[in-house]
Structure 1
């Protein structure tokens, strides 16, 4: 104690501080009671209770300490020792805690005891020390501590089926290599059944090879769920398992990223104009087949459990070959514009037009008439801007002339200031927010079979001669009574589907159904088009005819801008048409090709993606003030130039004075003007922009222009870029 610091507790351990341990507990008590030291000490005795031996702590104190210091020091030492003192709980305390936990969950006794010790710091001896030790190892959460005994199983000695399994492994590896070429997606199952797999492997084995049973082969597969107890029976020797084909593979398209970015910018613009905008997300649901009289056909929606009387049976034909008609459900979603730019667009009002696919075919003009009706019925009032987003169907594709005419008709009938029609890339209709409504509509169509009513005998005999919707339409043109009879026959089916739709909700908002567009409404749309462009018939017009009409071409040039996935129309506010749309920068640059020469090269900027230098051009020499302004703009942290983009913002003072080529991409080589300019480095490779590029003397003898190329690019199969061979005028 003389060598320890003041107020430093020391545990009295008889195995350390005494030459011989105490013979009995009485000797221990007598020793502690009569202990005498050369320094003043405080003594703390802790008695856990029961048969456990007491614990004694001693610590040296100052002789001249006051009474307040004595109380303060003692309290601090006791508080510091409190976490290290063992606790021993009674059986009643554990039993009471276990009774409370049993009301919440069922826990095995060993796990319960480990949990109790963990949260209460109970130092009692566990009832099953071996099991408690295993649980403590698991609680450590270190997977390296536990050894998977299956890895130590080298198989049965002298296995008679090893040759068969070797051939099977080769067959599995062949299929895996083929699937890797499809990025892990296979469209055909390689083996029909387990017997087929065994037979294919057996055909590759030598004569007399022993073949294992189906049960033994199946146990070599990977388990369906590796976290179940049943998975312990599988060896996972082969990475194959039973699987069901998923029908969620999305088709890819080169313009998918562009259209996704276009829709992102469109949503941001709609958010900015949210008080003056009328938005519609449009899409047609998959056609619903309608069976003939007495032959109900399933809607085709994947079946789920539905509520039905226990005494009845849900049944339908096991095929739809007898179906001649179908129902088209056109979904119009008017979303709630979010309060934040990145908010959700998947809530709002949903209205569905349920129509017959035979005589009420979904066309661009019918969609235009429905859009006009929805806009005029909107209780929020007239909005000067209309935005429409849809997929790339024939009635929505903005490159088709009938679709463009229908959009112009909407623009005129609603007296809009601006109309924007955007569509998704082919095969990417899932980007349309209205697609999420289709899953809700499937709830109303699951476990449902439809059939039309029977018409008169004459009409039924006439319909039996028709095998498709096209033939029914042709027959209806020759016999107007057939169209009326067919409409009467399918009317109850349309009411049934519309009634099931109207019982659904989207985030608490009821889904509404509206009447199909009448022929009069469709004719009113075409009448507006005929008034604007009397030279052609809107019902039969082709793009070739429209392009030859001066009225149509002039109207489109003044009011519209059309792109691959976008169509816009703007209203003239002056007698003379104003140039509302921003001119295409790339087309403008192509007209100003004389700017991009070596004599107009003024500076250089590096691409942040490919690190290649790109030349900055200007028709006039930059003054010292302009050079300083340009250098300051290029040195800003927010300056992230990439090939093909503008170097300065349109509002910048030098935006019209300095330019870079917009037709460049990161895959294009360094421009020739860079090497001809005084600031150009002659050792940079034209392909990658790396150093140590050189030119070949043999090429310099044949060509006037030879751009440098590094050894890395030459090794990759790239050649020196050459131009202007000797012996020609150029």
Structure 2
């Protein structure tokens, strides 16, 4: 027998051993419930692991390295006191510590779960913006000194979104709340991306250089927020983040295709806390959000300038240097004379030593720090459905037949009481937005919601253009054809301004008969234009070009001779496809008033036509603009010709006989004046001759024609 044991001992190290996870699992399952004492205590897991390892020579990795090593030491030393389980003396947190908090929260949740008039368990608004906000809202209703759980404790009291996930075991399902979501986002490239990034860097370095007497404002308009008619809650359209709602309701709203009569426009301004170094962040400062009714308080350069002046004056002493940076939308496009004039009036009214206005490249609004504010502002407006309050029966009957903003405005001209009633009706939506917005903060600085400027203040501000700039300017007539011969205005631009595609600068001159004395005592230099280094890969440092005579010669779009290639790339279709038979409708340019054709390869469906109508109703179109953003449902379906600006005549496609929509074909191709005629002599020589009015013809503009007739 002894010899047999010796043989087995010698062979045992060379024999293969087989262990599976199932074998180990079955061992634990069989013996983990066996009581080891009269108290009923079972075998601890670490003891079972040690037994299994010793009996089977299992060499898998330790599950709890420190504890398993202590067990091995206890076995080798034959001293069980080396391993002591102290968990039985830890009673844990008393279960009723936060009872008051969770009972109060439970009552609030029950109040939130209200039945919709058409569906039950439908919530139109996310009451809480975040777990932190939930904690603060519940804490307000508790007695002082009540026990308040941490944010993580509140979170794990929620219902798990996926009960089968491994993390679901952390949730207690104590409160019927969970995160639910509604999503979308975009970016477009442009050949001037790098150039505009250099422009913005120069502007920031300029602000840092004069930070003691400078204010940098980043401004932008957020997408309009829709609201429904009384009793019909329409989604705000903001999704992308989960919201806290009761677990037994669905977060929903009416279909987004529902026609809405109005909207609310949020104007965002970030008063940047200018850092000491260009490497530090510019995403700091005070955020102001102004909510305006889009129908009777439409955005315009004059309204923006009026509200900026009021905010600067309300903040205390106005600094001598003000810098504005925007995405270059129609109300901020510094190449438009209406925008230039509004900035000049602001410059003179605030008695600034210098004003700098910059903008991003087309489609690159994400560069603007104010655009990053939108993600925070979305917290207040996300997953919410709004409805305006009901007016009296007479006003509701008048508004019933109006299906667009322009129709509501025209009805308000006939019935002045309609405007007041409408603004009071919409104020309910604005009050909710203001209350929710003030609960949002940027780096612990709460958002502010100033009151929008009255229409009388805006008109008074615009009227100053005749007093401060040029007395011959006509209010509302700010196109190139109207201002090109205004001598005082043109002289001011020449003496006090520096005009660029992406920057517009105004500063005082040294003539005391023209400008007031400098408030800062500093002669500010122009913000320089980016100039390429010798290697043509990078732009010169700011310090090297500051104070030198620079120009736009290194702007890519100025050097690109093949504009058609760039236009086709941006518009998403070749110019050969933009023909008369593909014209589906027209849109008038906000700046020049000329009709521009909207093309589509196929006829638009009823849903696509409704979507296009709503978009054109809410947004102002200008020449050279992309008609729909990249993330829109109509992107790639409808197009406009980008290879033209406000100086470009009306397209040939507009006058084509095969245009499938009815158009007024007798308008002047230069100024869009009606009742214009085609030249009879040219018509005898060419197949296609565009109409021209007498004023344009007498001013020497050529007659546009093509396709000569063969004899």
TM-score relative to the length of structure 2: 0.49
Larger radius of gyration: 1
Larger RCO, structure (CA 8 Å, separation 6 or more): 2
